Structure 1
Amino acid sequence: MADTDLIVAVQPGDGDDLRERQRLTEQLRAALLDLDIDAADRVSGGTAPAGSKGAGLIESLVVKLGVVAVTTAVVKIREWAGRSNRSVKISIDGDSIELTCVTAAQQQELLDIWLARHAAPRS
């Protein structure tokens, strides 16, 4: 089965500096490495929003996993985001969704729609 690259970025919170974002990203990476995935590599890219403390590059993770593991990884990310009270942006092939502080039912509905777009086997 083809590998899928899931791009995961912890979104900056109010008052975050670069060190805090790096710490949070590493915390999420450790949680993902508990899953049966191929890799969760740190990359830097993009810039923090204007006016944010410690503006600079946003650190992301490139999570390499099989298509069937995508749902498992997304559930882990959603749980981590809820516990951490953080927003996390995830992308597959440029299609992104941001997990934010909406109700669990609303977030699940949005995730189901987003995941359905990526459930079909790729050629």
Structure 2
Amino acid sequence: MTRQLNLQLGEDGASAERLDTLTGYLRQELLDLDVDDVRRAQGGAAPPGTRAVDIMALGGLVVTLGRTAGGLKDVVAAVRRWLARGDGVRRTVKIEIDGDTLELSEVSATEQDRLITLFVSRHARDEVDP
């Protein structure tokens, strides 16, 4: 069973260009993991009169998880590393899977651990060991 994980990245004060660049960096990092695919989220049809077929949803990624037991945990760990690289600028990431959403930002590492453990335990049961 293929499962998708939706990520929505944010950084306080970031321009659209910067957010697009940051999204690209995280996408590249996630592609190095044991996941089936990572693509930019689509924002829907372009407004009338424009040439674009689809608009990219700024800061959005769609991760297609593989069937390995560590896939979800590895993605969440990569997101935490991305958050930590904010150099004092507040970053946020919303992680959504199967209608369940987890938002990570400026909470303590202990609180992040607790929230992540709860979130992953609810969804990791569908993954299998290789």
Q: TM-score, normalised by structure 2?
A: 0.76
Name the structure 2 match of 1:52.
none
Per the TM alignment, residue 57 of structure 1 is displaced from its structure 2 partner at its CA by 4.7
Name the structure 2 match of 1:23.
21
Distance in 1 of aligned mates of 2:42 and 2:9: 12
RMSD: 2.0
Name the structure 1 match of 2:52.
none
Distance in 2 of aligned mates of 1:89 and 1:9: 5
Name the structure 2 match of 1:72.
74
What CA deviation, in whole Å up to 9, does each residue of 1:77-110 have, x standing for no partner? 1111111252111110121111111111110100
Instruction: Tell me whether 1:109 sits opposite 2:108 in the alignment.
Output: no
User: Structure 1: 5+ residue runs without aligned partners?
Assistant: 47-55
1:98/1:17 CA distance change after superposition, 3 Å:
same
Distance in 2 of aligned mates of 1:99 and 1:65: 20
Name the structure 1 match of 2:93.
88
Distance in 1 of aligned mates of 2:96 and 2:80: 13
Distance in 1 of aligned mates of 2:126 and 2:13: 41
Name the structure 1 match of 2:5.
6
User: Structure 2: 5+ residue runs without aligned partners?
Assistant: 45-55
* Rg comparison, structure with higher value: 2
Between the aligned residues of both structures, percent identity stands at 38
Contact 1:6 1:91 in 2 (8 A): yes
- The runs of at least 4 aligned residues of structure 1 exceeding 6 Å deviation read none
Corresponding residue pairs, total: 111
What CA deviation, in whole Å up to 9, does each residue of 1:23-48 have, x standing for no partner? 110011011111111110112339xx
